[in-house]
């Protein structure tokens, strides 16, 4: 019996000596730009071959942010910019190849997260059922056509069809990259929000836990922008925080935030720790005469303490190793504070495993695409709440 479908994916997604070269594309909700990572995946290892970030042109970024709000998003714009973003994503892959002297034709597969313009994980009623939904843009047919590379995209809808929240998806990549037979590990991403993937020793897809621990860089960045009147967008290397002292009274007040007490699975965002939170906090510290450096130290400690407390309260065991990634891994003051809070763990970063902390998210979507093409289920029900493991994504064959 000749199996169908062989030709479509089989003949086009090559695997040279067991190695698959995959490009991963990611653009976050802040719509700053496109992260592109190119990795070589074998059964044993994921090796980063190239990485770069391609900022969106300012006019395009403004347009994307308009697409994200029901009040300003227009049908014709959604349709148009979905295809425009497909072009821009394809160009980013082509540019990275050119910059890093990688032949485009050596890439076997692309995994694209896309640009989320709407996400409704709680769902809305339709008749007797609650329908969850999500909408990513960056037309993958355009990416596949322009690059000539089979593309996997739109990973979130299938998990939502299976009753999940469609997020987080990165824990699967954490499991593939960093799951260990014996050691228990926590992969701690510190982006705007901080989130942890808990990988027990000898873990499998069914005993992984992942949730948001609370603020990552968001409150720190917000405060730095305010105290520098916008001259600095973040505390490079944690230098300002290093000059200050933590205000114990303010810190203990911050740590009473109700999100920190909520049991996982849980997720948070700008609604809770965004610009409004930072502004309110800054007004208070200014009126109380707390110095800028002390405020910076205190909000940095807030992130470190909220991560450490989440581990003690909600993880089934303290990990042997914590592996950091995301921009917060560059903040030395934050990392030191976290190590002080968790003296019993070994503090590492994905750099120690050959994946730069900035590239990690784009790498994750390369890994997700690779799993989809392999026919492997690649959601983590313990992270998304889905009622079963499913294969995520849509395959655009070339």
Residues that bind a copy of itself (CB under 8 A): 1-15, 20, 67-70, 73-76, 78-80, 82-84, 86-87, 117-120, 124, 126, 129, 131-135, 139-142, 144-146, 154, 157-158, 160-162, 372-375, 390-391, 393-398
Taking the complex as a whole, how short is the minimal distance between the CB of residue 46 and a copy of itself, in angstroms? 16
Cβ-contact 222, 279 below 8 angstroms: yes
The nearest distance, CB 270 to a copy of itself, in angstroms, is: 18
Q: Strand, coil or helix: what is 199? A: strand
Parallel, antiparallel, or unpaired for β 321-325 and 185-190? parallel
CB of 54 to a copy of itself, least distance (A): 15
- Which lies closer to a copy of itself via its Cβ, residue 155 or residue 311? 155
Q: Which two tokens stand for residue 250?
A: 């303010």
* Cβ nearer to a copy of itself, comparing 147 with 300: 147
Min separation Cβ 40 and a copy of itself, Å: 14
- In whole angstroms, how close is the CB of 89 to a copy of itself at the nearest point? 12
Question: Closest approach of Cβ 90 to a copy of itself, in Å?
Answer: 9
Please give the Cα distance from 253 to 55 (Å, whole number).
37
d(CA 150, CA 239): 44
Cβ neighbours for 132, distance < 8 A, ≥ 6 positions apart: 120, 121, 122, 123, 160, 163, 164, 165, 166
Choice between 128 and 289, CB closer to a copy of itself: 128
Nearer to a copy of itself, 195 or 372 (CB): 372
Torsion of CA 239, 244, 249, 251, to 10 degrees: 0
Task: Tell me how far apart the terminal alpha carbons of the chain are, to the nearest angstrom.
Answer: 25
Question: Are 333 and 241 a contacting pair, CB within 8 Å?
Answer: yes
Task: Residue 117: name the closest of 140, 136, 89 by CA.
Answer: 136
The conformation of residue 16, written as its DSSP 8-state character, comes to B
| Smaller CB separation from a copy of itself, 66 or 239 | 66
Q: How many helices (H) and strands (E) does the chain have?
A: 15, 13
Q: Which is nearer to a copy of itself, 54 or 277 (CB)?
A: 54
Query: Which sign, positive or negative, has the C-alpha torsion 333, 339, 340, 346?
Result: negative
Structure tokens given for 284: 């208070």
Nearest CB to a copy of itself, comparing residues 59 and 229: 59
- Minimum CB separation of residue 397 from a copy of itself in Å reads 5
Of the pair 148, 237, the CB lying nearest a copy of itself is at 148
CA distance to 39, 134, 172, per residue, from 210 (Å)? 24, 20, 10
| Distance of closest approach, residue 111 Cβ to a copy of itself, in angstroms | 14
């Amino acid at each position: 019996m000749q199996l169908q479908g062989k030709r479509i994916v089989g003949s086009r997604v090559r695997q040279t000596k067991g190695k698959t070269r995959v490009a991963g594309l990611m653009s976050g909700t802040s719509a700053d730009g496109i992260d592109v990572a190119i990795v070589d995946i074998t059964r044993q290892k994921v090796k980063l071959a190239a990485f770069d970030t391609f900022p969106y042109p300012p006019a395009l970024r403004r347009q994307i942010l308009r697409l994200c709000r029901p009040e300003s998003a227009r049908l014709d714009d959604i349709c148009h910019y979905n295809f425009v973003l497909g072009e821009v994503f394809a160009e980013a892959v082509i540019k990275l190849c050119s910059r890093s002297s990688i032949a485009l034709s050596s890439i076997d597969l692309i995994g694209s997260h896309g640009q989320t313009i709407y996400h409704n994980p709680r769902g809305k009623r339709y008749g007797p059922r609650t329908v969850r939904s999500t909408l990513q843009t960056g037309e993958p047919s355009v990416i596949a056509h322009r690059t000539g590379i089979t593309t996997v995209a739109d990973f979130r809808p299938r998990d939502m069809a299976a009753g999940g929240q469609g997020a987080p998806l990165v824990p699967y990549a954490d499991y593939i990259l960093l799951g260990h037979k014996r050691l228990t590990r926590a992969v701690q991403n510190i982006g705007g929000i901080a989130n942890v993937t808990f990988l027990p020793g000898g873990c499998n897809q069914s005993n992984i836990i992942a949730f948001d621990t609370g603020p990552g860089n968001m409150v720190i960045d917000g405060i730095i922008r305010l105290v520098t009147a916008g001259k600095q967008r973040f505390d490079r290397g944690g230098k300002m925080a290093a000059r200050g002292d933590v205000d114990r009274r303010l810190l203990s007040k911050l740590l009473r935030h109700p999100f920190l007490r909520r049991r996982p699975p849980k997720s948070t965002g700008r609604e809770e720790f965004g610009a409004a939170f930072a502004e309110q906090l800054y007004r208070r510290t200014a009126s109380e005469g707390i110095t800028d450096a002390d405020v910076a130290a205190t909000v940095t400690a807030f992130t470190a303490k909220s991560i450490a407390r989440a581990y003690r309260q909600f993880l089934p065991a303290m990990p042997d190793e914590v592996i950091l990634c995301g921009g917060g891994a560059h903040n030395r003051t934050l990392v030191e504070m976290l190590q002080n809070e968790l003296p019993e763990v070994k503090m590492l970063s994905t750099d120690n495993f050959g994946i730069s902390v900035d590239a990690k998210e784009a790498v994750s979507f390369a890994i997700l695409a690779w799993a989809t093409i392999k026919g492997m289920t690649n959601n983590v029900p313990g992270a998304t709440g889905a009622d079963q493991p499913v294969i995520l994504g849509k395959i655009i064959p070339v």
